[in-house]
Amino acid sequence: MNKALFSRRDFLQTTAGVAGASLISGSNFLSAEPIPSASQAVPASDRVRFGIIGVGMEGSGLLTTAVQLRGVECVAAADLYDGRHELAKEIVGKPIRTTRRYQELLDSKDIDAVIVAVPDHWHKQVVVDALAAGKDVYCEKPMSHNPADGVAMVAAAKKTDRIVQIGAQRTSSVLCAKAKELYEKGAIGELNLVEATYGRNDPNGAWEYPPPPDLSTENLDWNTWLGTAPKIPLDPKVFARWRCWKEYGTGVAGDLLVHLISGMQFVLGINEAPKRVSAFGGIYQWKDGRNMPDVHPVLFEYGGIPVYMRLTLACESTEVTRFQGHKGAIELREFSVTYIPQAGVDLSPSYYSASFPASMRNAYVKQWHEEHDPIPGQEPAPESITFNGNDYDDLKPHLWKFFEAVRSRKPVVQDAVFGHHAALACHLANESYFRKNPVCWDETSQTIKSLG
């Protein structure tokens, strides 16, 4: 791995040092499915040759990981900024074809699949074109920039036999698999609430990225980068920080919420849009010209169950998804999943008896203990159990599953339909925020409608 290239999560894990190491120790460590070493020889007929479209922050991380996988070879890279042509070659470690025109990769007969890591507003066009060209596709999350794009992408995927996998990695995590197993075995009983938090409090976490110092119209095809967005003069900050604006990105919902939604869908075994969505928030900290909120709490309804997710770029908070039921809770965290059982019964006489006269209260307490006290030596001792494991957003297993699907032609979990439903939750959250009303997804018209 090129040690100069770190994702945000890689960087935070590395700098955590000993504290991070202690987090994953213990007797209940979940081992991920083994991935063969890249050094093992693979017949040419079994090798997957891919091209990458977009070699920015996410794309460079995807490329760095993909080239470490056995039987996987990058042969070409496309990016509208020439500096990233050099970067792609540095990551791959050998000469590869580079171009500004992604269509050249789609026309290449020696490319089996493409990784798509372009800004959100380009996802639909690139994915639809890739499918039409007969390529298998790995597309970064969120799948779509808006609902109409998602509908078009699902339709394109259904017309082909191509593999489409969306890049929210939690569906390939052993931690999510354990949470799913616990839930399906009835560990928490009937689900009655899901709540999740995801909070950052630093400029990098708020996408205040430094633009490439040499950026100009000479080395960047700015007009093409804008695509369907309004035409504006080259703005290096927009290029680097596009997530801040709805014209190009999907804000904190498309960057962070989609991870929470995708993980929840996988654990609960659901693949649908939420029934209702109500969102709030605003731009409280990062008043830098952005138009997407930096604090964005959202209340969803899935199958009659409330799902509350709180997103913020203005206060660091523990990243956790909590599945709650009458028998207890499952807490899914970055490096662990914990089952916390609850008896759901009174463990002592009711404090309401304090309102009884003394003789009545004493009689009630005596009778309660006679009827409820356990036999000595047989007292229930429910204990929480924690399973530790690798980062649930680890790219490697997710990319490995994609390339294995390309070889085997077996379907993936996070396909276009799954990705569309996860993205729809984000689009609904954004629409509710901007409309200042609860909204829903109308399946008949395939549009978002206000409920207020």
Q: 284 in a domain, yes or no?
A: yes
Domain count, the chain: 1
Residues 75-129: tens digit of each pLDDT: 999 999 999 999 999 999 999 999 999 999 999 999 999 999 999 999 999 999 9
Per-residue pLDDT band for 44 (boundaries 50, 70, 90) equals: confident
> Quick one: average pLDDT of 23-31?
61
Which residue pairs, CB below 8 angstroms and at least 24 apart, start in 36-44? 36/70, 36/71, 37/70, 38/67, 38/68, 38/69, 38/70, 38/72, 39/70, 40/70, 42/70, 42/71
Pairing of strands 295-302, 276-279: antiparallel
Q: 310 in a domain, yes or no?
A: yes
Rounded CA-CA distance 53/375 in Å is 67
High-pLDDT (> 90) share of the chain, %: 87
Give the pLDDT confidence score for residue 42 in this predicted structure: 82
Q: Report the CATH number that the domain containing residue 237 is assigned in CATH.
A: 3.30.360.10
**Distances in whole angstroms, Cα of residue 340 to Cα of each of 198, 229, 387:** 21, 48, 12
Q: 427 in a domain, yes or no?
A: yes
Rounded CA-CA distance 42/447 in Å is 47
Give the pLDDT confidence score for residue 38 in this predicted structure: 74
Residues 6+ apart with CB under 8 A from 245: 238, 290, 291, 292
Q: 135 in a domain, yes or no?
A: no
Residue 367 phi/psi, 5-degree rounding, is: -65, -40
DSSP string, 92-130: HTS--EEES-THHHHT-TT--EEEE-S-GGGHHHHHHHH
Q: 79 in a domain, yes or no?
A: no
Give the pLDDT confidence score for residue 12 in this predicted structure: 42
Q: Is pLDDT of 428 > 90? A: yes
Q: Is pLDDT of 380 > 90? A: no
Residues 6+ apart with CB under 8 A from 268: 180, 183, 191, 194, 302, 323
Rounded CA-CA distance 267/160 in Å is 28
**Distances in whole angstroms, Cα of residue 64 to Cα of each of 73, 137, 138:** 11, 17, 15
Q: 103 in a domain, yes or no?
A: no
Rounded to the nearest 10 degrees, what angle do helices 83-92 and 57-66 cross at?
20
Determine the length of the chain. 452
Give the pLDDT confidence score for residue 43 in this predicted structure: 83
Q: Is pLDDT of 375 > 70? A: yes
Q: 261 in a domain, yes or no?
A: yes
Rounded CA-CA distance 76/53 in Å is 9
Instruction: Return the residue matching tokens 């259904």.
Output: 158
Per-residue pLDDT band for 20 (boundaries 50, 70, 90) equals: very low
> Quick one: average pLDDT of 157-173?
97
- Answer whether 432's CB lies under 8 Å from 438's CB: yes
Residues 6+ apart with CB under 8 A from 20: 13, 335
Give the pLDDT confidence score for residue 18 in this predicted structure: 32
Average pLDDT, the chain: 93
- Answer whether 209's CB lies under 8 Å from 336's CB: no
Give the pLDDT confidence score for residue 170 in this predicted structure: 96
Give the pLDDT confidence score for residue 452 in this predicted structure: 72
Q: 367 in a domain, yes or no?
A: no
Give the pLDDT confidence score for residue 10 in this predicted structure: 52
Rounded CA-CA distance 116/143 in Å is 10
Which element (helix H / strand E) includes 16? helix 8-16
Q: Which of 115-119, 389-393, 400-404 has the lowest mean pLDDT?
A: 389-393
Q: Is pLDDT of 249 > 80? A: yes
Domain that residue 405 falls in:
171-209+222-342+382-450
Give the pLDDT confidence score for residue 24 in this predicted structure: 36
| Cis peptide bond upstream of 210, omega within 30 | no
Closest alpha carbon to 139 in 439, 363, 329, 422 = 422
3-state secondary structure of 322: strand
Per-residue pLDDT band for 3 (boundaries 50, 70, 90) equals: very low
Rounded CA-CA distance 369/152 in Å is 64
Q: Is pLDDT of 21 > 50? A: no
DSSP string, 387-414: EEES-TT-HHHHHHHHHHHHHH-PPPSS
